[in-house]
Chain A
Amino acid sequence: MTITEDAPGHVGSRRLRKEDPALLTGEAKFIDDLALPGAIWVGMVRSTEAHANIVGIDGSAALAIDGVNEVLSGEDLAPLWGEGALPCAWPVTPDMKNPAHLPVARGTAKYVGDAVAVVLADSRYAAADGAAAVVVDYEPLPAVVEIEDAVADGAPLVHADLDSNECYTWGLWGDNAPAIDAAFAEAAHVVSERYLQQRLIPAPMEPRGCAAVPSPAGGELTLYSATQIPHILKVMTAVVLGIPENKLRVVAPSVGGGFGCKLNVYAEEILCSALAMQRGAPVRWTEGRAEAAVSTIQGRGQVQHIELAADADGKVTAVRVKLLADMGAYLQLVTPGVPLLGGFLYHGCYDIPNYMFECTSVFTNRTPTDAYRGAGRPEATYAVERAMDSLAVSVGVSPEEIRARNFIGADAFPYTSAAGLIFDSGDYQTVLDKAVALADVDGRRSDQAQRRASGSSKRIGVGFSSYVEMCGLAPSRVLASLDYGAGGWEAATVRISPTCKVQVVTGSTPHGQGHETCWSMIVADQLGVDPDDVEVLHSDTAVSPTGLDTYGSRSLAVGGTAVYMATEKVIDKARAIAAHQLEASEDDLEFSGGVFRVRGTPEAEVPLAGIAFAAFTAHDLPDGMEPNLEAHVTYDPPNFTFPNGTHIAVVEVDTDTGDVDLIDYVAVDDCGVQINPLVVEGQVHGGILQGAAQALYEDAVYNSDGQLVSANLGDYLVPSAAEAPRFRLDSHVTPSPTNPMGVKGVGEAGTIAAAPAVINAVVDALRDLGVTDVDMPASPQTVWRAIADAQGGAS
């Protein structure tokens, strides 16, 4: 049985999300809604210096505030965790530097936002007042702020006990270096570009928060956290604090988005857990929005050098990439691995035989970076898609033609890439052709030409971005080869109750995506029940003990596949019972619409409901069979999945002001089989806007002292619906052969594709004025200056 042939089913329909009524009516409970009478509230005192010795901490003014009970320094708290540091699960090289990262700093503060002391209070208000009143005496040290400064001669050291700011260097080229050199030596066209990936501040609707609730009598601890990863958090908290895993439960309540920033183990989670165990009382903390800007991980932060070698026709023969990546002051859970996730994809969706990638990662006195929607892949796509446009100009062909000349052919799958991945399926040219038609590229180009000819100050630009990404993280053995500290499987349990209702327990951890809806649709089609008869349980390690959670667009391809397979297992068991009841051979049974029938004997049938009840009573089951209909599956994917697509952005640039208006946006994506197109479109819309946000709006700006100057949502410009372009979407489905449903994943695709499409469009609009590059974000001022510079000085 495959999903696609089980029509007329629910899969493929635009079913409204079952999650939404509770969210829209305020019934959903988030971390801060938790009522915990008598809880100790934590206020974090955060460094206001980028790099400084902590000379003294004076809590007297704080302690004078009603409701403030204690002020604790990193020294005071040290016994709670000793040398136990916040975990980094991805030591990408054996000699990677991983300086001890304590939940509250001792001795030296290493970035603005670094926790230096903690206030314990009776209420959140008192905790905030107390934290504001603690006086910290700093002895400032020289700070390393910008990435390239970290590796400059004589750079100050972020970590005095290391001999440089280099964290690691990781490369991917095998014995290919001579061939690459030869390709560049023989090339008719060489493109060499330097791009900047500014730091981004993830801004989910709900900031972070956690609450640790002990049961002093039994010694158990329940940790509630606004996290994407309750399962991983549980293991890590147990390891860091030495809490026996059987005494620890982690619950993620409703979580208001994450985009990767809640894929982590944070200081506050460890701190609240340790204090709750020590005090025998609930301990909680809720993050403020401005606090989040410095205390939650940031995304991106790279300086990229990319070179393409091509023959006279523009066929690319080699790509060579050198990255400098900003880790920030410390390594968080997967910080060092993020550039590697892009490291396999700097050849884009092109058939390029020679590949070299090298990344040097550095420490700076800034908030740690880590996974942010797309994690490495938006950066890779940006570099190669921008460089392909430069190559098109050099060769003298259109952006779509340079792509067509280099695409991996539809007949080449499974395709082994020069970076060593096996791409599952795709038809990149068809996808691009659809996008070109939908965007009316010809019409836009003639408008562009007309406006140029008439000297209009409103220029039109058309920008392409063709991408392929890897998701469905991940085959455990591949993760082992990359030195990642865990596997990539996912678990699911499917149970059918006596009244034939279905309970799905998933190890995926939704935080806005719509898993409950989609898992219900999948299972409903398989079992022939209504999706509303399926409940989906998740996000609580007491209910769903086994799982690896939600990130990297992995939920459907890995977690959804596990659900699908567990359901198949349940059906197999039900089939055995049906065969027993109908006195037929299992091979003669067919199952559809929730009914088992004996082939050729239509009147011999039994509904699943009957079997469910029989499995429950267990009065008459085949010999040796266990009662109840229930199955558990842990699925380790044999490969990644490789969603792909072409996005086209159309912009109008006002050359008088530099203002960029995103007037049209076309996206044709191949995310494999779609379970619910409504959910897919939601992901694509949000993803595109998040990518366009990097291109046009968002920028974590630090001054030379290492102060974050865009720390609030007035200065850090997260776009709203009013800034969203007109989204015009289409899709092309090449089912992934990797999993039984043929699904790939779509959580990050929009973000991966959008930034280069938008910037390529801006550059396209201004190329006749001499503009060849515009930094992100392409703010009006930046664009206006780029024009002025290209025209020979500001006006």
Chain B
Amino acid sequence: MIPAAFDYEVAESADHAISLLGEHGDDAKLLAGGHSLIPMMRYRLATPSVLVDVGRLDDLRYIRTGNGTVSIGALTRHSELEHSAALAEACPMLASVAALVGDPAVRHRGTLGGTIAHADPASDLPAAVLALGGTIVAQGPGGSREIAATDFFTGYFESVLADDEMITEVRVPAGSGGWNYQKFNRRAQDWAIVGVAVAGGGSGVSLVNMGSTPIRASGVEAALAGGASAAEAAAAAADGLDPPDDLNADAEYRSHLARVLTERALNAAGVA
């Protein structure tokens, strides 16, 4: 449980962070809340030789609403999402999902940018952003680009983010529509064994821990668009997926859970 040796740099700004990343190449990793990266380092599953600490970039901690969009700074803590009155108003789904991440200590350290960049298919907020049809703003040496959440995740802990890019902002459309989030786990602090996010009255449905990325349940969305009932649509939740096998659930049980939880989420989101 002792990490390998590493050097530590404090970034003064996003630009500084990006130039440090450029300087150290793929040996360097950004450190935000550290609640995914440091456990991996302790198990020596990650052995970055340089950590670039962006945790003190307070100018990237904000929640702004306007023009039908909610813009959230990448360093915003889960607990800030959870307790923000503005977010509860503008995007109640995101606030509510943030409250289900880990435990209070995790929520006070973990950041929205960190959980998106980490691209863990078992994480809650990436799936919520996906169902909401969000956008990720990434800054690199050549400037900023906007990436649709649907295009962002590419595999287990992998995304389209380049080694020298940093997420600076996450945007979601204001108003969640009819929404619900079902998180199924065994202990309150754990990641979802399976999770289902429903936004926009069923126009956005995504699945947690049902494959190598957070997954848009396009079969469910299409069935609903075609007039299927919640129960009928939910029956398709696991179709074509290759869910993981682990100590908590094998693929068969996971698929069953996905169907049960999708129906529950749709019903709770007001889809009959």
Give the interface of A toward B (CB within 8 A).
124-125, 128-129, 132, 288-291, 656-657, 659, 696-697, 699, 701, 709-710, 712, 714-715, 717, 719-720, 722-723, 779-781, 784-785, 794-795
Contact = CB atoms under 8 A, between A and B. Distances in A.
Given A125-B5, A290-B43, A794-B252, A779 B189 contact: no
Interface in B71-97: none
Nearest to B4: A129
Interface in B1-41: 1-2, 4-5
Given A697-B187, A715-B247, A720-B189, A795 B256 contact: yes
A779 B193 CA distance: 12
A717 B1 contact: no
Nearest to B2: A128
B187 A291 contact: no
Contact of A780 (B2, B4, B44, B186): B186
Given A132-B44, A784-B256, A288 B247 contact: no
A710 B247 contact: yes
B43 A719 contact: no
A781 B187 contact: no
B250 interface: yes
A722 B188 contact: yes
Given A132-B4, A781-B250, 16 more contacts: A125-B2, A290-B1, A657-B184, A657-B260, A697-B187, A710-B247, A717-B186, A717-B187, A717-B190, A720-B188, A722-B103, A722-B187, A779-B186, A779-B248, A780-B184, A781-B249
B156 interface: no
Contacts of B253: 780-781, 784-785
Contacts of A699: 247
A659 B247 contact: no
Interface of B: 1-2, 4-5, 43-44, 103, 184, 186-190, 193, 247-250, 252-253, 256-257, 260-261
Contacts of B250: 781
A701 B247 contact: yes
B260 A288 contact: no
B187 A723 contact: yes
A128 B4 CA distance: 8
20 contacts: A124-B2, A125-B2, A125-B5, A288-B2, A290-B1, A291-B1, A657-B257, A657-B260, A701-B247, A709-B247, A714-B190, A717-B187, A719-B187, A720-B103, A720-B189, A779-B186, A780-B184, A780-B186, A784-B253, A794-B252
Given A779-B248, A781-B253, A288 B1 contact: yes
A795 B257 CA distance: 12
Counting from the closest, the 4 A-B pairs by CB-CB distance are A722-B188, A128-B2, A288-B1, A781-B253
B256 A697 contact: no
Main SS class of interface, B: loop
Q: Which of A701, A714, A715, A795 has the most CB of B within 10 A?
A: A714
Contact of B187 (A124, A656, A720, A785): A720
A722 B189 CA distance: 8
A129 B4 CA distance: 7
B45 to A, nearest CB: 11
A208 to B, nearest CB: 13
A714 B185 CA distance: 12
Contacts of A715: 247
B52 to A, nearest CB: 21
Contacts of A129: 2, 4-5
B11 to A, nearest CB: 25
A659 B189 CA distance: 16
Contact of B248 (A124, A289, A781, A794): A781
A289 B43 CA distance: 11
A469 to B, nearest CB: 28
A290 B44 CA distance: 12
Contacts of B186: 696-697, 717, 779-780
Nearest to A696: B186
A406 to B, nearest CB: 35
A789 to B, nearest CB: 13
B105 to A, nearest CB: 11
A719 B190 CA distance: 10
B264 to A, nearest CB: 9
Nearest to B260: A656
B1 A289 contact: yes
Contacts of A701: 247
A656 B253 CA distance: 11
Contacts of A794: 252
B217 to A, nearest CB: 18
B156 to A, nearest CB: 16
Nearest to B188: A722
A715 B122 CA distance: 14
Contacts of A719: 187
A128 B3 CA distance: 9
Given A125-B2, A289-B1, A712 B187 contact: no
A153 B257 CA distance: 41
A710 B261 CA distance: 26
A66 to B, nearest CB: 9
A715 B193 CA distance: 12
Nearest to B39: A714
A6 B183 CA distance: 55
A288 B189 CA distance: 22
A291 B103 CA distance: 25
B186 to A, nearest CB: 6
A357 B17 CA distance: 68
A726 to B, nearest CB: 15
A132 B260 CA distance: 44
Contacts of A290: 1, 43
Q: Which of B184, B247, B260 has the most CB of A within 10 A?
A: B247
Nearest to A43: B2
B250 to A, nearest CB: 7
B123 to A, nearest CB: 14
Nearest to B189: A720
A710 B247 CA distance: 8
Nearest to B253: A781
Contacts of B2: 124-125, 128-129, 288
A25 B250 CA distance: 44
Nearest to B184: A657
Contacts of B256: 784, 795
Given A720-B189, A781-B248, A659 B184 contact: yes
Contacts of A781: 248-250, 253
B252 to A, nearest CB: 7
A719 B249 CA distance: 18
